[in-house]
Amino acid sequence: MSESVRAEQLGESRAAFMARVRQAVGRRGQAESMETAPEVDEALVRLVSPQDDVVELFTRRATAAGMRVYHVDNTGVAGTVTEIVRAAGAGRVAVAVDGLMAHLREAGATVVDRVDGNAALWELDAAVTGVTAAIAETGTLVCCSDAQQGRLLSLLAPVHVAIVRSSDVVADMLDYWDRFGGDGAGPVASSQVMITGPSKTSDIEGVLITGVHGPGEVHVVVVDP
pLDDT tens-place string over residues 91-128:
999 998 888 998 899 888 898 866 666 677 888 999 99
Residue burial 163-202, b: 16+ Cβ < 10 Å; e: rest: bbebebbbbbebbbeeebeeeeeeeebeeebebbbbbbee
pLDDT of 146 above 60: yes
Write the CA distances from 41 to 26, 149, 200, 210, integer angstroms. Answer: 36, 37, 35, 38
Alpha-carbon gap, residue 96 to 114, rounded angstroms:
8
Domain boundaries, the chain: 1-32, 46-223
State the CATH class of domain 46-223. Answer: alpha beta
pLDDT above 80: residue 81: yes
Please compute Rg for the chain using Cα positions: 23
- The pLDDT tens digits of the residues spanning 166-184 come to 999 999 998 998 888 765 5
Q: What is the mean pLDDT of residues 59-73?
A: 97
For the cut 80, the answer to whether the pLDDT of residue 147 exceeds it is: no
Per-residue pLDDT band for 20 (boundaries 50, 70, 90) equals confident
Q: Which helix (H) or strand (E) holds 40?
A: none
What pTM, to 2 d.p., does this model score? 0.77
**pLDDT at residue 3 in the model:** 44
In degrees and rounded to multiples of 5, residue 147 shows phi and psi of -65, -30
- Sort residue 29 into left (φ over 0), alpha (ψ -120 to 50) or beta: left
